[in-house]
Amino acid sequence: MKTLWVGFLLAIAGACGEKPPQDKPAPAATDWTSWTVADTGFGPIRIGMTPEQANAAVGGALQLPPGPTTECAYASHRGVDSLLFMIEQGKIVRIEVRRHDVQTAEGARVGDTEARIQQLYPGRVRVSPHKYTDGHYLTVVPSDTSTHRFRLIFENDGVMVTKYRGGALPQVEYVEGCS
């Protein structure tokens, strides 16, 4: 009994001398406003990721569509309107932006003129007529041939960019999105 009691006291003394394990601090909230759009992704979200991988990359900030995403569907960033992620065949294939406060790495954004897009991407903009307005599609062809299957496409109404998207071919060229 004496041995048991001494063992008990030693265990308590040892436990009192040790510091309890520290909980890791919660990761900082993701600040999507500092991220930029490229033809290959948005911030930590990369074209080709699964929706689950993309959601993990942004700390669970995506609202994913219910069920499997073998058909075309959209995910959105929780609390951020007009920023959508197209999913096809279980992969993120396109980012759609309809907000003026989300810009590309070069600084292009909704509200820019066609001339500004041409200035930001000199010699790389292919202009084609818009299907529904008097504006244009401004397709930025990458200068890096290793990303030849990705594009940025800006839509304008004849005056300014109303929305833009970045992603993989052919999905980035879909005029009606998932329709």
Domain residues of the chain, as ranges?
36-173
Nearest Cα to 164, choosing from 118, 98, 120, 106? 98
Residue 7, pLDDT above cutoff 60: no
Can you tell me which residue has the tokens 């818009």? 130
Task: Kindly report, residue by residue over 157-174, the tens digit of the pLDDT.
Answer: 989 999 999 999 999 999
pLDDT at 81: 82
Average pLDDT for 75-96: 92
Residue 37, pLDDT above cutoff 80: yes
Average pLDDT for 75-103: 93
* CA R_g for the chain: 24
Residue 24, pLDDT above cutoff 80: no
Q: What pTM does this model have?
A: 0.80
Fold of the domain built from segment(s) 36-173: protein yfey like fold (2.60.460)
C-alpha dihedral, 33 to 36 to 29 to 93, nearest 10°: 120
Rounded to whole angstroms, the Cα distance separating 51 from 7 reads 53
Question: Which tokens sit at 81?
Answer: 């309107």
